[in-house]
Amino acid sequence: MKLIRHFEDFPADLRGGALTVGNFDGVHRGHAQIIARLIAAARRVGGPAVVFTFDPHPVRLLRPDACPPPLTWTDRKADLLAKLGVDALISYPTNEQMLKLSAGEFFDTFINGNLATKAMVEGPNFFFGHNREGDTARLREFCNAVGISLEIVDALHVDDAIVSSSRVRKLIAAGDVDTAANLLTEPYRIRGMVTHGAGRGGQIGFPTANIDAIDTLTPAAGVYGGATLARDQIWPAAINIGPNPTFGEQRQKVEVHLLGFEGNLYGQPLEVDFHWRVRDVVAFEGPEQLTQQIQADIHAISARTIDDQKN
């Protein structure tokens, strides 16, 4: 997988292949369906399978107040797409000049110009160009005029609803990481920096890594089971999101207890996967009751992790 951020560094061997353009936030199963058709088209034309996306999402510049938090960062998106078989991800820097391009200008500049595309694959709700003036019908006209094959892939439905980034985002925001995981190609992940907290977790025997500077959507308050990579090893994790009402704290925090891990991770980046929701955040009578509940949570997470590994 090659991650391209500027066309000044664009390798010639990535021209003349199959292309799909879109945001691909979260890289869900609907995206995977498009990628599968993209790879088939690339093999048919004898070129690379290329994904063209934007960084940041155009809405962040056009309507920043209406732009939802992303589900993935660029490197994570590239990794997920690489696992699906994509040869290159173009993460084009979004700017006002690009946003002013008409549909025809965008097609001529990037699709038929820089990329010398031979085949395209898109979903049914694809729009491009200034004010989203271009749709799939317009794209087909442009492609037909220059001999580019175009395939429009039907939306994927799971449980009688379309799989989309907005649907995944609503599930994550509601804390339903279990259902979201069924729609994504991999469990939902956040990243951040480990910072110093109040230290109460260590005082009661359950030290936690406090995660700050999270740049993607944070799940709803609750306790979750998941996993994280630290010191080149995957550790099962108990994740607490929200305040600490037992101690009268209302500040929203993200705390991760790595089961079996010893040592500290202060000042280091940490990525955390969410596998399932364990319970809501509740206020306990005191530290003893909280400790008992944490022990029960860790036992449940450890047991389920073992079961998942067996399956």
Q: Is residue 35 within 8 Å of residue 86, measured between CB atoms?
A: yes
At residue 260, the pLDDT reads 92
At residue 96, the pLDDT reads 86
At residue 119, the pLDDT reads 98
Q: Where in the chain is the domain with CATH 2.40.30.30?
A: 187-310
pLDDT tens-place values along the chain, 311 residues long: 999 998 776 789 999 999 999 999 999 999 999 999 999 999 999 999 999 999 987 777 777 787 889 999 999 999 999 999 999 999 998 888 888 999 999 999 999 999 999 999 999 999 999 999 999 999 999 999 999 999 999 999 999 999 999 999 999 999 999 999 999 999 999 999 999 865 555 555 688 999 999 999 999 999 999 999 998 899 999 999 998 766 667 678 999 999 999 888 999 999 999 999 999 988 787 778 888 999 999 999 998 887 777 66
Closest CA to 255 of 188, 217, 199: 199
The pTM assigned to this predicted structure is: 0.93
Q: Which residue stretches of 54-107 are H helix? A: 58-62, 74-83, 96-99, 103-106
Amino acid in the structure at residue 20: T
Q: Where in the chain is the domain with CATH 3.40.50.620?
A: 2-161
At residue 8, the pLDDT reads 75
Was domain 2-161 assigned CATH 3.40.50.720? Answer: no
Half-sphere exposure of 71 (CA within 13 A, CB side): 28
CATH class of 187-310: mainly beta
At residue 248, the pLDDT reads 62
